[in-house]
Amino acid sequence: MWGTRQVGGDMLRNAGMRTLAAAAAIVVAAVTAGCKAEAATDTPTAGSTPSAAATPSASTPPASPSPSASASASESAEPSKKPSPSPSTEQPAPKVIMAPGAKGEQVRELQARLAQIGWFDDKPTGTYGPVTTTAVKGFQGKRGLPATGSTDTVTWQRLLGMTTKPTRAELDGKDVKKPQAKLDQRCMTGRVMCISKTTRTLSWMIDGKVLSTMDVRFGSQYTPTREGVFKVGWKSRDHVSTLYDTPMPYAMFFSGGQAVHYSSDFAARGYNGASHGCVNVRDKGAIAALFDQVRTGDKVVVYW
3-state SS track over 221-266: CCCCCCCEEEECCEEEEEEECCCCCCEEEEEEEEECCEEEEECHHH
Same structural domain, 249 and 281: yes
Cβ atoms < 10 Å from Cβ of 150: 19
pLDDT score at 176: 83
Same structural domain, 131 and 190: no
Q: What is the CATH number of the domain that holds 136?
A: 1.10.101.10
Round to whole Å and give the CA distance between 17 and 37.
Answer: 31
Q: Are 234 and 294 in contact (CB under 8 A)?
A: no
Same structural domain, 221 and 291: yes
Q: pLDDT-based confidence at 83, cuts 50/70/90?
A: low
pLDDT digits 0-9 by tens, 154-213:
999 999 998 999 999 999 988 888 777 689 999 999 999 999 998 889 999 999 999 999
- ∠ CA 74-80-86, nearest 5°, is 145
Is residue 24 a part of any domain in this protein?
no
Based on the structure, what is the number of domains in the chain? 2
Q: pLDDT-based confidence at 2, cuts 50/70/90?
A: very low
Ramachandran region, residue 173 (left: φ > 0; alpha: ψ -120 to 50; beta: rest): left
* pTM of model > 0.85: no
pLDDT digits 0-9 by tens, 206-223:
999 999 999 999 998 889
The residue among 82 and 276 whose pLDDT is bigger is 276
Q: Are 127 and 107 in contact (CB under 8 A)?
A: yes
Is residue 140 a part of any domain in this protein?
yes
- State the pairing for strand pair 279-281/228-231: unpaired
pLDDT score at 177: 80
Is residue 54 a part of any domain in this protein?
no
Instruction: Provide, rounded to the nearest whole percent, the portion of the chain with pLDDT above 70.
Output: 70
Is residue 147 a part of any domain in this protein?
yes
Partnered with residue 258 across adjacent β-strands are 255
Q: pLDDT-based confidence at 122, cuts 50/70/90?
A: confident
Is residue 148 a part of any domain in this protein?
yes
Domain housing 294? 185-303
Round to whole Å and give the CA distance between 116 and 160.
Answer: 11
Same structural domain, 153 and 101: yes
Last residue of a domain, one of 114, 142, 171: 171
Is residue 198 a part of any domain in this protein?
yes
**How much is the mean pLDDT over the chain?**
78
Q: What is the CATH number of the domain that holds 297?
A: 2.40.440.10
Is residue 14 a part of any domain in this protein?
no
Is residue 246 a part of any domain in this protein?
yes
pLDDT digits 0-9 by tens, 92-117:
889 999 999 999 999 999 999 999 88
